[in-house]
Amino acid sequence: MGSEVRTERVLKGIAASPGVAWGKVHLFLPQEIEIPDTPVAAEESSAEIERFEESLMVTRQQVVKLQHEVAQRLGEDEARIFDAHLLVLEDRALIEETVREIQNTGRNVAFSFNRVVQRYIDAFANIDDEYLRERSNDIRDVSRRMLHNLMGKAHYGLGRLAEERVIVARDISPSDTANIEKGKVLAFITDAGSKTSHAVIMARSIQVPAVVGMRNCTRLLRPGDQVLVDGYDGLVVVNPGEETLFRYGKFQEEKRSLEKKILAQIGRSTTTRDGISLDLMANIEGPSEVDRLHRFGAEGVGLFRTEYLFMNAAEFPSEDEQFDAYRKVAEAIAPAPVTIRTLDLGGDKFPNSAYRADSETNPFLGLRAIRFCLEDTALFKTQLRAILRSSVYGNVRLMYPMISGAGELDRANGLLRDAMRELDGEGVDYDKAIRVGAMIEIPSAALTADILARKCDFFSIGSNDLIQYLLAIDRVNERIAHLYEPTHPAVLRMIGSVIEAGHRHNIRVSLCGEIAGDPVLVPLFVGLGIDELSISVSGLPAIKYLLRNLNHADMKELTGEVLELEDPKEIFARAESFYQKHLSHLIA
């Protein structure tokens, strides 16, 4: 009988953790938990509630133990991933809702808990913000562990691999990756997931390549298949031939050479070859990321997303709690600036028990961000006071999200002045000249940027929302996501007009969002005249190296050329060609 001939195939996903690996597939498909649905008599409900509380305690102990092991093996940053799991287990609303579910429905504890937790998972899964959407996986992970404990079943991850393998799964949870034996996992490939998933963070920490968002890899790949995983470009080569293996061997050598050069320039300024300086800033969620700012060469914080302090709390944090978080970051990076964005809550971001908004037909166009803050002025003023108090400990800038026009900006600044007067009356010190800016992420704000510039000290262009609103595209809708085109002429013209309006009024303009960290697209926006980029911490070294090795004049020339084009795909191809031309020069 002849041997089966397997042809080479290339599958495309999302590049999530860099590197190249080659090996056999291990299909990791944990069985779904079968949850019993049984009636519980009223007199037995207290025993079910007691069993629920005991399982909460056991699950907490398991997570704390796991967190300690990860801290010892991988580091404190990776261990903090499990903070979110502990917060779920301590969420009073979730606990109380489960107790009520048991009492009101007369069903068993596992069924009741699963029913409640699914509501939380669904709420997070429907959030537009990618980072927050991924947190549904944290809730799913810890709830699965909790259900195992409630039903007396063992919880296994990927710690039992006998041989080196490429893991193929629908998705991978932090618990699955926590007890991996280093060297046994060559790479990860998943149907679901994104660059911000905690499993991807773990993969990067153990330097394992990962390609996620493949949709159907668990159906296309079989145990024992030979695959090559390209974590740089998001490719999976099934049954790679000798020529492909040889090509990737050379490719790995080039990548290692480039990475060494990138790391060697981390501490240097972001200045182009022809002497134009830019500020390369980081996006952060809290004080725990400060160490990484220094390690990756950030020149400040361009976006401190304060809503994460609120989303992970059973109750909204007090003024002192917020002040403490803002102060820690300001002190740690002084004299570099930290730009604190006021709350971007509302619309789809109310899964937490601290606040329940009335349902809205279209939450993305509803009561969110600055609109929510201007309605709940007590909450907003508490945050403004905390930010002002932190301003004496460093170089603090304050920024409002989702400003749609001058009226909202005036009302926000009015409340800021009220907060200042209150602090003056209490004898509390703050930076009287604190710089105040607006995020430009709604087309109406972009079109009136010349008016807003008279009332601001700086602009930050929130590209994710601006593109989404400008092109009427929901990025998370798979059926139309392909229409989300950052190189659409309307996007380039609108961003260019905001930069021009800012510069006309002598204020600096920053760019944040996914395109600000995309090395192919960055030269386009630098050529448009952007002053500052704010990106994920891990992306800083590569963008800094790229800009230090390019001429500003060349980037300006590129932008001038593409502004004459009308096809977004042709514009992207031109930008990609520019990048490839200069990248080959940098690797050599």
Question: What distance in Å separates the CA atoms of residue 352 and residue 383, rounded to the nearest whole number?
Answer: 18
pLDDT interval class at 77 (50, 70, 90): low
Token readout for 394 is 């460093």
Q: Phi first, then psi: what are they for 378, rounded to 5°?
A: -65, -45
Q: What is the CATH number of the domain that holds 290?
A: 3.20.20.60
How large is the greatest C-alpha to C-alpha distance in the chain, in angstroms?
Answer: 91
Does 405 have pLDDT greater than 70? yes
Is 512 an annotated catalytic residue?
A: yes
Q: How many domains does the chain have?
A: 3
Give mean pLDDT, residues 372-388: 94
Residue of 85, 198, 488, 552 marked active site: 198
Q: Could you say which of 150, 166, 188 is where a domain stops? A: 150
pLDDT in tens, 309-361: 876 555 788 999 999 999 999 999 999 999 999 998 764 445 444 444 455 55
- Which of 28, 171, 32, 30 has its CA nearest to residue 114? 32
Give mean pLDDT, residues 294-318: 83
Sign of CA dihedral 70, 353, 302, 510: positive
Question: What distance in Å separates the CA atoms of residue 52 and residue 110, rounded to the nearest whole number?
Answer: 8
pLDDT in tens, 488-536: 999 999 999 999 999 999 999 999 988 998 899 999 999 999 999 999 8
Q: What is the CATH number of the domain that holds 111?
A: 1.10.274.10
Note down the domain range covering 218. 9-30+157-241
Residues 578, 452 within the same domain: yes
Looking at residue 385, its pLDDT comes to 98
DSSP string, 427-489: T----TT-EEEEEE-SHHHHHTHHHHHTT-SEEEEEHHHHHHHHHT--TT-TTTGGG--TT-H
- Which of 339, 338, 397, 405 has its CA nearest to residue 371? 405
252 in a domain, yes or no?
A: no
What SS3 state is found at 264?
helix
Token readout for 28 is 């990791």
223 in a domain, yes or no?
A: yes
- Which of 356, 337, 334 has its CA nearest to residue 345? 356
Find the angle CA(525)-CA(456)-CA(526) to the nearest 5 degrees. 10
Q: Which of 28-32, 38-42, 572-576 has the highest mean pLDDT?
A: 572-576
310 in a domain, yes or no?
A: yes
Residues 79, 26 within the same domain: no
Residues 284, 430 within the same domain: yes
| 241 vs 381, higher pLDDT | 381
257 in a domain, yes or no?
A: no
**Spatial contact of 484 and 535, defined as CB atoms under 8 Å apart:** no
- Which of 201, 148, 150 has its CA nearest to residue 173? 201
37 in a domain, yes or no?
A: no
Residue of 373, 512, 552, 582 marked active site: 512
Residues 289, 191 within the same domain: no
Residues 54, 103 within the same domain: yes
Residues 438, 506 within the same domain: yes
Tell me what percent of the chain is helix, strand and coil, each rounded to the nearest 5: 50, 15, 35
Residues 522, 459 within the same domain: yes
204 in a domain, yes or no?
A: yes
pLDDT in tens, 62-76: 888 888 777 766 666
**Spatial contact of 348 and 127, defined as CB atoms under 8 Å apart:** yes
Is 198 an annotated catalytic residue?
A: yes
For residue 230, count other CB atoms closer than 10 A to its CB.
24
